[in-house]
Chain A
């Protein structure tokens, strides 16, 4: 025993030194950022840029990335978070319900939305199946890939894009739901998450991948050779960011949130494929994206979309939701 403890003594001293050293070096503030996985590349550039500003001096970050729903659940279960960046509003609402995020998180100029995107069709090089419209997706012999909306919160954007696009073309609620049924008849794989869906499509399966524009741009950057089609009608994807109650105690966290809507950070988001929400950046030629003929949001009441709360219940309730029947048909 004595020999063992002597062997470990230097190690203990070293460990103690590291701990003391770490304490000394973190004289500034450490903020915990909990985010969904897609903006990881953007934050890798935004954080250093923030640290280069006066507000970000001596601020260090603990970062955690993962599936949006998983991250929200982790924070709900006690994972330390000062800033949460999630892929859709219901995941933030979960945290509001638990009292972790204050209920007024949407009360700023951008309603808490830090990046936008749209639902697009990713197709094989040269678009061999000639896919341009939502109607093309339900043709015989077209294989569609979309993540399962029950395992991937983000995949719910795809479903609502399809539903809203039908309504925008003058179809009734009943017809739009019938469309969802015929669309999901052509869905041959339901991957668990958006990233996995990209993976499956890259493996050679399917003719069309329903995904977000930024994911399509990302896939292209990572060497998956595809092109994407912007349908005439599609939904505006809005990704929220919020401070938790513990984040509100740090002026640095407020400073970081403000920085996310600065033109510098918005450009960095734009570089990774998101549509910037800051008008001045979005209007600059480099970040100017093609606009679809009809762009609707989850709050487009004329199309029967009455916000996430109602959509979650009507479409995605685990026992009575419309999608339970559509997928299990």
Chain B
């Protein structure tokens, strides 16, 4: 992952020459600013419009804090779960061959394609009070986690898959011929190579889980202090004509996600420095 990123940064310069490179950089920065940075800046601006004290009051309201704790707990759990299952699914899709593999490969992206409210409806039908399997997880925290698992499934799989495809199997064979067991091969050869990809997938899954709204709003039940997540709390503040409160909690979510993304980026950077 790290090396491929380096290549793509160098590529425009190589193709268009020095001036073209500057132009490309200019366009990239402008685009990023327009699409991402300006709206985020506006959000932060509106959150502090009522002053620092009111920002703090909004964020530390018991209901806001409870929602925030639940959101972070659920997102962490989902991210950790995804790290394991996502890697396993990627492994199966790359290393095994079975009938219908192409179909399964396509199904992975379905949670991205489906409007999230539809996902919520489907999950409510399947795991609600009328569940055909007799599994009723709706309107409790388990249902919330289930919905988040559904919408975050593709991240780790799609991050790990290309790296696994590129991974030189000769390395593993060499290790095995030298007497390493399968577990040792995975732990000392495969896993270290996959770790950066797993981490970036986990970071994306975490960030998505923190901000998810559509799929959880139906199945979680939105009970304050029990199953109300921050995104639903924010929607409530907007509806109650408290845009400053909504913006304040949004900013906290944003900072946490940014922190996690930066932390994982830094860790990957440190590892690439460390390895070479």
Contacts and interface: CB of A to CB of B under 8 A. Distances in A.
Interface of A: 69, 73, 94, 148, 150-153, 187-192, 196, 199-200, 203-205, 316-319, 324, 327-328
B130 A188 contact: no
Interface in B208-242: 217-218, 221-225, 228, 232, 235-242
A189 B129 contact: no
B139 interface: yes
Given A189-B221, A196-B218, A318-B241, 14 more contacts: A148-B236, A150-B239, A151-B232, A152-B239, A188-B139, A189-B223, A190-B224, A190-B228, A192-B222, A192-B235, A200-B124, A200-B221, A205-B129, A316-B240
A328 B217 contact: no
B61 interface: yes
Interface of B: 61-63, 121, 124-125, 128-130, 138-139, 217-218, 221-225, 228, 232, 235-242, 245
Given A204-B130, A328-B63, A318 B224 contact: no
Contacts of B237: 150, 318
A148 B129 contact: no
Please name the 8 residue pairs, one residue from A and one from B, whose CB atoms are nearest each other, closest first: A204-B129, A189-B221, A318-B240, A204-B130, A150-B236, A318-B242, A203-B128, A151-B236
B198 to A, nearest CB: 34
A191 B228 CA distance: 10
A73 B246 CA distance: 14
A327 B232 CA distance: 15
Contacts of B235: 151, 192
Contacts of A73: 238
Nearest to A317: B240
Contacts, number: 75
B222 A190 contact: yes
A194 B116 CA distance: 19
A192 B245 contact: no
A188 B223 contact: yes
Contacts of B242: 318-319
A275 B222 CA distance: 31
14 contacts: A150-B237, A150-B240, A151-B236, A151-B239, A187-B223, A189-B221, A190-B223, A199-B121, A200-B139, A203-B125, A319-B61, A328-B63, A328-B224, A328-B225
A69 B239 contact: yes
A328 B217 CA distance: 18
Nearest to A69: B239
Given A205-B128, A318-B241, A200 B236 contact: no
A199 B62 CA distance: 29
Contacts of B241: 94, 318
A66 to B, nearest CB: 12
Contacts of B245: 318
Contacts of B138: 203, 205
Contacts of A196: 217-218
A187 B139 CA distance: 11
A93 B222 CA distance: 28
Contacts of B225: 328
Contact of A192 (B124, B125, B129, B217): B217
A200 B125 CA distance: 10
A24 to B, nearest CB: 36
Contacts of B61: 319
A150 B232 CA distance: 10
Contacts of B222: 148, 151, 189-192
Contact of A203 (B62, B129, B217): B129
B247 to A, nearest CB: 13
A194 to B, nearest CB: 13
Nearest to A73: B238
B254 to A, nearest CB: 21
Nearest to A205: B129
Nearest to A191: B222
B39 to A, nearest CB: 14
A205 B138 CA distance: 9
Contacts of A317: 240
A327 B239 contact: no
B154 to A, nearest CB: 26
Contacts of B218: 191, 196, 199-200
B232 A204 contact: no
Given A190-B222, A190-B223, A204 B236 contact: no
Nearest to B66: A328
A153 B235 CA distance: 12
